[in-house]
Structure 1
């Protein structure tokens, strides 16, 4: 079965009476919805509930598709003539996007070719055998391109739904043509980029139900892959979490502490059981089937053991983590846990439950952030705490580089968050221009604190002409207007600042929307100008960013891996300036190095273990 031609999810079907009230309603908690053709080669939507129940078929004509909540795994297909609506929910978002795209492509192609007046006669006269219920063929490149142009054009002649204003003006709406609301969104699928072979193997393992941990150096696409995995899982039972608010924002999730519901985890295990037994917390634990944890390196081992015990207790299941599938991601050679119990640092892999919980391990090796092999080799050496004379000379030489351009200064990476804050406030005060305040629009005024913790954009942004800023969202990748791009405010219009970026492009910053999922599954959002002051940035807050103009002084480095995280933010050696570099500022935790030595030994041994069923004993 072609995966693009089907989706497995919760299906609710409602039939309405003429008065608009529901005459019949059917709910299938797990059903496969696919596209097939009948003997007349017409496209049908088939809902197959499973086991002994018969499938239900709907002819795809005179219908409308609503996909406003497609990224949450929800969509609906309304059949006008049948007075029936098929509601899809808890569908893996990537699968749902692909499925709706196929509907759009195939129906667009059918309209282009025209519908025969007598398709059954055409079928009988043809020499080609054809059976009713046959799956539709995969979309061809020509079909995809034709449908894409239709979606992007968005003209009245296309099969996309007209804007609400146009609908009101029309006295008659033609329902003979299928309509897919905002079909253009189908061609801006954030999960559409191709995966590498090593990324695909991890995705397949995750979808195969295996508890796994994958790692890789900075810039190998760990968070990108994690988003792909999350998009391929049913959202209602998947909890995407991370050890920090910044990392959680990158994968569209919440912090692990928010999910666990046991505070910082410093209380006794019995108290943690009590906290997690609260109905709202326990309900989330029990419905979760997939738990994703990003930046696992910053999760303390003691905390990991506690939430593993809590999972078994609350779910009344003695399997590791109460039977929840774990998908863990991070690099232990980057930032270590912040919380220390009794003054002792414990990594997650040192926890008692790690070996029972993690059954498969993977390592991403291809670096995507940098393409300079010299710089990549330097970073790989620094990651393990190895600094040669040549590396020292190369990094010391960067101190003399002029990386400023068109008035855009280098962002100073600081080891401490307060240092970065003080630098930004001081530099802004020194500008003589009049300040302008941009206040965010939050969907829930009571959620401002949560949004401040988890989003990169502040609730209140103060700017002046001449302010150094960083772009916090991908606006136009082709023009270099990407998350982490550096610029300077050149003027402030009545409604928005205009920024000149290092790429040479000017951009009038308009409010963008960020959304955050709460533990309960509801969504809160913030609309704000996608900028932040960027004279300075903390190393912790820079995780996940690629900076095109950065300088650093590593004299106050206090953690293993901190220097590596800072250096690996740079796009290349030409955009980097290291002040007063000293080899003593670079080191790796010996416990972590030993973990990775064993980790790679196990990976090497796994390559020689044949996969599949074990042979029977004779």
Structure 2
């Protein structure tokens, strides 16, 4: 299923299981849906199975939201205590939609407990008290943590829950893979998903044992925290120079704030030195980094002290504090602000889930869970960016029950494509409007118009074709369609599989041909723009004919990143 059809089904009010292999765009689709819900004034409860997963989507753990903590069963007394908690009543009764991300790490028993609590608090006997429920994840990812005697229990997985069956979920299995290119590595990963790795694929993986990779200082992946902590501490200690520290700040409920700080990917206290290898733990397409982007600290900004991070493409990014807010029913209940970095000479496979890594050295000799090997390998874009430090081949196997379940999910998704794939936009609009009205939201056609810009609907002053048309339906027009949706440059580049520089050149050309084209949403802050404008003017006074971003970077002594300079140049005459 493509992302567009999945999003249409979500907007129709169906309970949905959104799945697909790593890199298929599950997080992208769910973030689009969350934005749409908020634009329709629909309160949404955003949750995930773990604190790390919740960090990725701006939510809290489902255990916290439902008040069940780490319990594996609920007694009548437990239910009475939960019933008395006013904040749970407020959070659960106000929401109209419940999202649970990384569902693979939730057991059947836990899902049933959440269902029981929500029905009780909402005083509604329907599944999850009548909420629209969106379950997101891939069961080939990490499974729930359970005792050894329960590890092979079929109830380990959420799809065995009574609540799962009662939800009557529409299965949206995303087909397109956006992380790895088609080729040998993609074939290997698909075979691992099916639990049917061929001898050819295993042999191909063996060639990466102690292999050479061209990436400088690749991230090391281990299965255990003790290895990761040791390596990161040792590498930071080896570096000379002053150590800088950055302490996370927060606001909101103290108990929840403490929980959020412990579950953040960025540490509560971040220690850095020049030369430290780091990775970004948040997506910021405007600034040019994503969760998993690696780099090296090359300096610190004078005054603010913010770290300057040089990433793989050569750009130097100023890593500024970012706020992570947790919302309930569209209200911010707690927020934490920290530099979105962590030391990354080594990380655990568990914490790498959800990331895209440029390169990695992996020690999979101590794999102890089904799915760990697949999670680690699927972080990468290509086989050439992989080096094994150790490999337990049995750890690459998927759980057989998961493989069988995946076949079922795929087939159910294909049936939905046959049933709904040919519906027109008008029919979908009617369904979406009906759902919004039903749950008390605000729906206008304008809410979704920006996501439906057709190339034929927009013209600009270009060369006239043989048919006398002004609209040039080529690569520029494709970029134009995304600009009219006010999509960030980095997102356009990622979708179109082009570089941000290429997209910026398109925008220069489009704006030159049509000065009325609205690109104001891309305009940087005035302080940054003024700084770059001053350097640009100075470079002009030095008789420079064609001013490059490197000229400005040099004049500013590296205090402004190349990415920020290039953004400013869009608005400098």
Shared fold per TM-score greater than 0.5: yes
Give, in angstroms, the shift of residue 381 of structure 1.
1.0
- Establish whether residue 438 from structure 1 lines up as the match of residue 253 from structure 2: no
Computing the radius of gyration from Cα coordinates, the structure with the larger value is: 1
Q: Distance in 2 between matches of 1:357 and 1:308?
A: 10
Please, which of 523, 540, 543 is the counterpart of residue 350 of structure 2? 540
Verify the 8 A CA contact 1:548 1:575 in the aligned structure 2: yes
Instruction: Give unmatched runs, 5+ long, in structure 2.
Output: 428-573
Give, in angstroms, the shift of residue 306 of structure 1.
1.4
Partner of 1:188: none
Please, which of 472, 493, 504 is the counterpart of residue 281 of structure 2? 472
- Establish whether residue 427 from structure 1 lines up as the match of residue 235 from structure 2: yes
SS at match of 2:115: helix
- Establish whether residue 285 from structure 1 lines up as the match of residue 76 from structure 2: no
Verify the 8 A CA contact 1:499 1:506 in the aligned structure 2: yes
What is the Cα-based RMSD across aligned positions, in Å? 2.7
Partner of 2:123: 316
SS at match of 2:266: coil
Partner of 2:292: 484
Moved more, 227-236 or 290-299: 227-236
Q: Distance in 2 between matches of 1:255 and 1:610?
A: 33
Partner of 2:261: 452
SS at match of 1:443: strand
Higher helix share: 2
Moved more, 264-273 or 542-551: 264-273
Q: Distance in 2 between matches of 1:436 and 1:596?
A: 47
Partner of 1:220: 24
Q: Distance in 2 between matches of 1:290 and 1:357?
A: 13
Partner of 1:528: 338
Give, in angstroms, the shift of residue 240 of structure 1.
1.0
- CA gap of 1:318–1:502, structure 2 versus 1, over 3 A, is same
- Establish whether residue 551 from structure 1 lines up as the match of residue 361 from structure 2: yes
Partner of 2:14: 210
SS at match of 1:353: helix
Verify the 8 A CA contact 1:199 1:364 in the aligned structure 2: yes
> Deviation digits for residues 386-431 of structure 1, max 9, x if unmatched?
22222123222223443354xx411111112332122211221232
Verify the 8 A CA contact 1:413 1:538 in the aligned structure 2: yes
Verify the 8 A CA contact 1:517 1:523 in the aligned structure 2: yes
User: Equivalences for 1:153-164 in 2 at 5 Å?
Assistant: none
Instruction: Give unmatched runs, 5+ long, in structure 1.
Output: 1-196, 614-618
TM-score between the two structures when normalised by the length of structure 1: 0.62
- Establish whether residue 385 from structure 1 lines up as the match of residue 195 from structure 2: yes
Q: Distance in 2 between matches of 1:341 and 1:232?
A: 42
Partner of 2:397: 587
Q: Distance in 1 between matches of 2:325 and 2:148?
A: 33
> Deviation digits for residues 39-95 of structure 1, max 9, x if unmatched?
xxxxxxxxxxxxxxxxxxxxxxxxxxxxxxxxxxxxxxxxxxxxxxxxxxxxxxxxx
Verify the 8 A CA contact 2:18 2:171 in the aligned structure 1: yes
Verify the 8 A CA contact 1:387 1:583 in the aligned structure 2: no
Partner of 1:302: 109
Give, in angstroms, the shift of residue 512 of structure 1.
2.8
Partner of 2:143: 336
Q: Distance in 2 between matches of 1:605 and 1:518?
A: 34
Verify the 8 A CA contact 1:262 1:275 in the aligned structure 2: no
Verify the 8 A CA contact 1:471 1:483 in the aligned structure 2: yes
TM-score between the two structures when normalised by the length of structure 2: 0.67
Please, which of 66, 71, 75 is the counterpart of residue 265 of structure 1? 71
- Establish whether residue 238 from structure 1 lines up as the match of residue 44 from structure 2: yes
SS at match of 2:71: coil
Higher strand share: 1
User: Equivalences for 1:2-41 in 2 at 5 Å?
Assistant: none
- Establish whether residue 570 from structure 1 lines up as the match of residue 380 from structure 2: yes
> Deviation digits for residues 335-375 of structure 1, max 9, x if unmatched?
11124597354211111221111331121110011224322
Partner of 1:158: none
Verify the 8 A CA contact 2:367 2:392 in the aligned structure 1: no
Q: Distance in 1 between matches of 2:417 and 2:242?
A: 63
Give, in angstroms, the shift of residue 568 of structure 1.
0.4
Give, in angstroms, the shift of residue 463 of structure 1.
1.1
Verify the 8 A CA contact 1:414 1:552 in the aligned structure 2: yes
Give, in angstroms, the shift of residue 236 of structure 1.
5.6
Q: Distance in 2 between matches of 1:597 and 1:570?
A: 24
